[in-house]
Amino acid sequence: MDIKSNYIDLLSDLSKIKGVGKKTSDLLKKKKINTIFDLLWKLPKSYTDRSKSTKIKDLKIEENQTITIIPKKYQFPRIRNLPNRVLCEDETGKIECVFFNSYEGYIKKILPIGKEITISGKIKFFKNKYQLTNPKHVSENASLIKQKHNSYSLTEGLSEKLYNKIIKEVLSKLPNFKEWHSNEIMKNFNNISWNNSIKELHKPENIGKFQEKFYQRLAYDEIFSTFLVNSEIRKKIKKIKKTQKIINLNKQNQIISKLDFTLTNDQNKTLEEINKDLGSSNKMFRLLQGDVGSGKTIVSLLSAFNTVNSGFQVALMAPTEILARQHYLLAKKLFHKDLRIELISGKSSYKDKKDFLSNLSKHKIDIIFGTHAIFQKKVEFKKLGLIIIDEQHKFGVNQRKKLSDKGGKNCDILLMTATPIPRTLTMTIYGDMDLSIIHEKPKMRKPVKTYSKLENKIEEVIKFIKKEIDLGNQIFWVCPLIDESKKIDHESAVKKYDFLTKIFPNKVSLLHGKTSIEEKEIILNNFLSKKFDILVSTTIIEVGIDFPNANVIIIENANKFGLSQLHQLRGRVGRGFKQSSCILMFKSNLSENARKRINILKDSNDGFKISEEDMKLRGFGDILGFKQSGVKNFKLADPIHNHNLFLLAEKEIKRIENTNQDISKFKPLIKLYDRADIINDIA
């Protein structure tokens, strides 16, 4: 990393730190501190001020105090298990230092008789005597004790004294990197260096000072390094030259004219963007982002149709087999016998799979639908021209890069997600991709009406459900837990299933996280074919297939969910032409935030607006889909509090791209923040 030998290598193992052995290293790794660099982001939660010295006569009981004393007499009892004591004094009074489980030799070493010693700890008062029990901060060198000592959230077996010593050692050997930012950027942070910013970050008096220039500079480094790697991936993909696809708009428009609905302006605009990419000599790497029920699937299928008409094959991957089957059936209905379409299923026989793979490799299949299995090594395409992946939020930047490489140079990539997210998050998470957004909902779809009900009004809800079932409609009933929990007062899915079965015999089924994949497919297919009317489920149904007859969703303990998750759950209904309803059930003792969430959801069906509000209320990392996929890799930066830094980084990246600036000077930054394996390819 071009740093001098007397500096510490921040990316090396913890054992390189003076005084850190295997035991301490293992304890640190328990706190996810694997390298020296990781240590820098374990910030103090508070500090103890030991800098002010007190006389014995002025000591305050139950407070941490620092005193300078002279040990006068040892009391080492011969009876085991009794504590060792050292009688000490200053010119104003006396104090006992009490030691449990400490050897005489150790005590004599740290508290030699007649020597002036500085000591610090919590003061007790016992039998009319001041006491200090098992003092950890003891030294003949007063300057070592009279400091502000940081307090950390540590694992058992790791003392604050040792941790402070380790951090001090690392900070004393921080490398002095050559500044990677331009003078213009550095003006925003009063020209404070990375090295000095880190040191300021660990000063006790700076705990929680998020608006200070040193903090802002380090947050900007995180954001900028992420954007820079995304930019490099984007550039590399754009450099790949491919065979242009010939888009036959007449054929496309013939399919569109047969639809029983009109495409929205957003759908048309997005289709044009995708067609432009397909027809370009540069490889497409695009994300199609749309709210639940906004009509992304039809746009992706039209893109597949245009690709096939240009002589290529298409692969569409969905997260579940039932969703893959839904896309397959829609494509069969849409394209009739115009295209050769197949579904690869786990239920297919060995012979069928063998024939299927053979036909695919000979280009006797135009579009293949399936789950992740369609990208196994044994699945070979003759002329793959487009990969479409539905619900792609499960893929990180590295996986997306590998996916792009796997498809080959002539294969375009279209990823889709129904999770609307705020712009700052989009810039961070999907910055390596071009972006198309569908805001509009199809006109024939009515907004879902959202109501809130106290849980003790369940009889009113049951009455409403009976009426809906009589009208031929189906109901989702969502519960947060599978089984009863004594610690958390939630209704469980199992208990609710038993309750509803007594009221609606033979009309209720149950789905939860412990349900096997095969059983889940059967249950969902039975619900789709109306073999029962009520599906009691945990949140596993939040992203899934269309159930046109399901137009009511009841969500238990709605106050326990985030806004984005509630919106995703609500999106399971309202997929047909009928008016749909969402009932949010809650207990009476709602928190202020929970009340805000419920009111926001009742007032809006706009997923993008809801996600912005969700991030404000819950914070970065808790937004649906991102916490579980490990997106929250920022240590300091926050899309809400550092919105201006995101915009500044975006502007700087555009400047670098437009001027084709050499980015080699940023290598230390990108390596430090470990933004992606792609760094190995950056020149």
Is it true that 51-146 and 249-438 share their CATH fold? no
How high is the pLDDT of residue 236?
83
pLDDT reported for residue 3: 39
409 backbone dihedrals φ, ψ, rounded to 5°: -70, -25
- DSSP class of residue 373 equals G
Question: What whole-number distance in Å separates Cα of residue 297 and Cα of residue 316?
Answer: 11
State residue 398's pLDDT score. 64
Report which of residues 513 and 551 the model is more confident about: 551
pLDDT band at 289 (very low <50, low <70, confident <90, very high): confident
Q: Which residue has the higher pLDDT, 555 or 626?
A: 555
What is the predicted pLDDT for the residue at 619? 57
Best-predicted range by mean pLDDT among 152-161, 266-275, 591-600?
266-275
Highest mean pLDDT among 376-380, 427-431, 614-618: 376-380
- What is the per-residue pLDDT for 486? 43
More confident residue, 442 or 75: 75
Q: pLDDT-based confidence at 485, cuts 50/70/90?
A: low
Q: What is the pLDDT of residues 3-43, one digit of tens each?
A: 344 566 888 888 888 878 888 888 888 888 888 888 888 88
pLDDT band at 544 (very low <50, low <70, confident <90, very high): low
Mean pLDDT, all residues of the chain: 84
Neighbours of 481 (CB within 10 A): 20
Q: The tokens 């239920």 sit on which residue?
A: 347
- Tell me if 318 sits within 8 A of 300, measured CB to CB: no
pLDDT score for 617: 73
Are the C-beta atoms of 491 and 550 separated by less than 8 Å? no
Q: Is the pLDDT of residue 373 over 80?
A: no
DSSP state of 9: -
Beta carbons of 409 and 241 less than 8 angstroms apart = yes
Pick the CATH number of 449-618 from 3.40.50.1110, 3.40.50.620, 2.170.150.70, 3.40.50.300: 3.40.50.300
The mean per-residue pLDDT over the stretch 598-617 comes to 81
172 has a pLDDT exceeding 60? yes
How would you classify the pairing of strands 64-75 and 117-126?
Answer: antiparallel
Question: Of the segments 303-307, 332-336, 481-485, 625-629, which one has the largest average pLDDT value?
Answer: 303-307
**Of 451, 452, 425, residue with least CA distance to 611:** 425
Which residue did the predictor score with more confidence, 197 or 640?
Answer: 197
Q: How confident is the model at residue 399 (pLDDT cuts 50, 70, 90)?
A: low
pLDDT tens for 423-479 read 777 777 777 788 898 988 877 778 889 998 988 899 999 999 999 999 999 999 998
Which of 2.40.10.120, 3.40.350.10, 2.40.50.140, 1.10.760.10 would CATH assign to domain 51-146?
A: 2.40.50.140
State which amino acid sits at residue 511: L
Backbone angle region of 280, left / alpha / beta, with phi > 0 → left and psi within -120 to 50 → alpha:
beta
Sequence letter at residue 419: T
Question: CA 548, CA 527: separation in Å to the nearest integer?
Answer: 11
Dihedral through CA 421, CA 427, CA 430, CA 434, nearest 10?
A: 110
Is 60 exceeded by the pLDDT of residue 601?
yes
Residues pairing with 311 in the sheet: none
Task: Report, as an integer, the average pLDDT of 184-212.
Answer: 92
- Spatial separation of the C-alpha atoms in residues 556 and 454, rounded to whole Å: 10
Is 267 a residue whose pLDDT tops 90? Answer: yes
Q: Three-state SS string across 559-570, please?
A: HHCCHHHHHHHH
Q: Which of 304-308, 392-396, 629-633, 660-664 has the lowest mean pLDDT?
A: 629-633
Amino acid 344: pLDDT: 85
> Poorest-confidence range of 7-16, 330-339, 396-405, 450-459?
396-405
| Average of per-residue pLDDT across 666-671 | 87
| Average pLDDT of the segment spanning 309-334 | 89
Predicted local distance difference test score (pLDDT) of residue 198: 93
Mean pLDDT of 267-275: 96
**pLDDT tens column, 243-257:** 999 999 999 999 999
CATH 1.10.150, domain 1-45+163-174, yes or no: yes
The CATH superfamily assigned to 249-438 is: P-loop containing nucleotide triphosphate hydrolases (3.40.50.300)
pTM here?
0.69
Between 216-225, 283-292, 391-400, 549-558, the lowest mean confidence (pLDDT) is in 391-400
DSSP string, 77-93: -SSTTSPEEEEEEETTE
Q: Domain extents for the chain?
A: 1-45+163-174, 51-146, 249-438, 449-618
Residues above pLDDT 90, as percent of the chain: 36
Q: Identify the three-state secondary structure at position 309.
A: coil
Torsion of CA 100, 101, 106, 107, to 10 degrees: 20
R_g over Cα of the chain: 32
Closest C-alpha to 172, from 40, 69, 43: 40
Q: Where are the alpha helices (DSSP H) in 362-473?
A: 397-406, 423-429, 458-470
For the purposes of burial, counting CB atoms within 10 Å of the CB of 415, is it exposed (0-12), middle (13-18) or buried (19 or more)? buried
Which residues lie below 8 Å from residue 478, measured CB to CB, with a gap of 6+? 537, 538, 539, 541, 553, 554, 555, 556, 569
Residues 167, 115 contacting (CB under 8 angstroms): no
Q: Residue 313 has which token pair?
A: 């094959």
Most confident of 44-58, 81-95, 138-152, 290-304: 81-95
Segment 344-371 mean pLDDT: 85
Chain position carrying tokens 């990208």: 375
- The mean-pLDDT minimum among 16-20, 202-206, 644-648 falls in 16-20
